[in-house]
Amino acid sequence: MGLKNIYKDGKPYLKSKNYAAMVHQATNTLTVRDRKDHGRRRRVIQQGLSDSTLRAFEPYMYEIINRFCDRMIQTVEEEHQARECGQSHNALENQKWNTSRNMSEWCNYLAFDLMATFIFSGKYNMLEREQYRYVVQCIEQSNIRVSSILQAPILKAFRIDKILFPRAIVARNMFLGFVGKLLRDTKKNDRSQRKDLFEMLSHAKDPESGNGFTPEEIVAESVTLVVAGADTSATAMAAIFFYLSRNPDAYARAAAEVRSTFDSVEDIQGGAKLNSCRYLRACIDEAMRMSPSVGQTLAREVPVGGAVVDGDFIPGGCDVGVPIYAIHHKEDIYSDPFNYNPERWMVEKEGASQQVSDMYAAYNPFSVGPRSCMGKGVALVEMMATFAVVLFRMDFKMADTDTAGGKPGSVYGRHRASEYQLRDHITSAKEGPMLRFRPRIVKPAVA
């Protein structure tokens, strides 16, 4: 298939020239076209994404995730203290649900806090403080411009983008101002006791050449990782919340799995027990299939002399690619592709049918091949940990005011009420879902 031909076969495809539109001051692993340079950068960054770095980050990760849960149920606890006695059990249970939360916003804050801590040991605490929340809005607004010039570089070449996207230009400048502060804070903080990614990249060497990153490259790679990592993880988390809140059977099974696996919230940590939650992982995978954080075509330039893609010859110099959203919804690969069905991922790959093998081969929310997302491991650890803690500590349900799904009667593609609606701006822009939370109710055992 085209996915294998373009991204996996080892052909000398380069990233499209259009990615130059995303370069600010220095190229990074996302935008660099040269394969040798990309390989060098990737080998250095992978050292910073080691198991030891993740283990050092884990206590801070769970602290942030629990802070997120505290915010989700904070008003519930406050209101519960003020309730009058004498109400029926059912009425009291209903009142424990808090006011609705916009999960696109809260997942943005959670993901940014996680990535800023992992990469810079930064404590901007968007979950509890509004001071820096404008940053995630700046990223989303700036992406509208960048996604347009990625498709039409002429807009930037003739400065037309400044006319078409004035708000995005302002947002970009505000974000760059924040980046300056972030780097100043990072340099002045005591870094002797922390093993964050920025510190690791400052000392890591390419095992093949013996060279490390220049200061400019460290900044470019670190900022790209925190922005891309936070944005995509936030979208994935919001999608998981959306689909679990609308699919009660999947929600109940995932919650039961987590609550029977762990004895306490403190018991939740990376390792064999968390990895044993296969249905939770299936729920995560299915949400990313349905609503991938990056759904567009990751364009590649056909090498000189041309190449055969999915049986067709394509001349050299053309841009080709496979849209992630499209292949994730191909009916001959995924049965009932617009139905959220985590059970499809509970089938073992080993010895599976061709249909199952094709399903796994086509699944690529992090892309595939030598230029796939290097942060995949970090993202999956964060998502598994987040939803294990959430399902252990809380219950949640869709709010009456939620409109994050499609609307019957809308234009094709926006008409499915059961599908989380995203907008493609390089990464996916989102709104909602609106959910209500309450502390998990543990029913006493029957004597």
Binding residues for heme: 373
Measured between alpha carbons, how far is 412 from 424 in angstroms, rounded to an integer?
A: 16
What 8-state DSSP symbol labels residue 235? Answer: H
Integer angstrom CA distances of residue 27 from 197, 224, 279: 18, 10, 39
Both tokens assigned to 408? 């019957």
Both tokens assigned to 146? 């960048």
What 8-state DSSP symbol labels residue 13? Answer: -
Residues making up the annotated binding site are 373
Both tokens assigned to 144? 């509208």
By DSSP bridging, strand 427-429 and strand 101-102 are unpaired
Angle between helices 376-393 and 51-81 (to 10 degrees): 30
Instruction: Spell out a b/e string for 72-108, using b for 16 or more CB atoms within 10 Å of the CB, else e.
Output: bbeebeeeeeeeeeeeeeeeeeeebbbebbbbbbbbb
254: exposed, middle or buried (C-beta count within 10 Å: 0-12, 13-18, 19+)? buried
Which backbone phi and psi does 424 adopt, to 5 degrees?
-85, 110
Peptide bond into 248 cis (omega under 30): no
Half-sphere exposure of 276 (CA within 13 A, CB side): 11
Q: Which helix (H) or strand (E) holds 447?
A: none
Integer angstrom CA distances of residue 392 from 235, 258, 288, 439: 22, 6, 22, 9
Is the distance from CB of 149 to CB of 158 less than 8 angstroms? no
What are the residue ranges of helices labelled H in 132-275? 134-151, 154-157, 161-164, 166-188, 197-203, 215-246, 248-261, 272-275
> Of 363, 361, 366, which Cα lies nearest the Cα of 379?
366
What 8-state DSSP symbol labels residue 420? Answer: B
